[in-house]
Amino acid sequence: MTFTHELGHVIGGWVVGAKLVDVDLAPWRMPYSVHAPDPHPRVTLWCGPILGVLIPVGLAVLIRRRPAWLVADFCLLANGSYLALAWLSGGPFLDTPRLLDAGAHPLSIAIFCLLTIAVGYVRFRNDCIEWFKAS
């Protein structure tokens, strides 16, 4: 989840012409990316959770195997949960406060969180039930 999410920020920054100053996508540390200057920080920031969902779901559609959907559905739940929890914590380096500072409407964040958490929870829960039934 963290890899595709952070990769989304990197891709988003590249698309809008932001200069990537530093990046760490190592799976054993908390990944991050720093863009400066970033002419469109809202796009760069939104691309993290959006591509953090679309990349795994797209791969699951292509792979068409239960483990791929388990990962994709977890990413769906995790990206929405991350934005919601980041909103509650208010940490200045987390995505949600930075999205709000960049001018994202709170309703857009709330809708993303509600949709991804609701759909992700139901799908991931069902994936887990099926996974453990099969074992």
Structure confidence at residue 27 as a pLDDT band (50, 70, 90): confident
Query: The whole model's pTM is what?
Result: 0.94
Residue 114 has pLDDT above 80, yes or no: yes
DSSP-H helix ranges across 31-105? 41-63, 66-89, 95-101
46-105 pLDDT, tens digit per residue, is 999 999 999 999 999 999 999 999 999 999 999 999 999 999 999 999 999 999 999 999
Residue 7 one-letter amino acid: L
d(CA 20, CA 51): 18
State residue 26's pLDDT score: 87
Residue 107 has pLDDT above 90, yes or no: yes
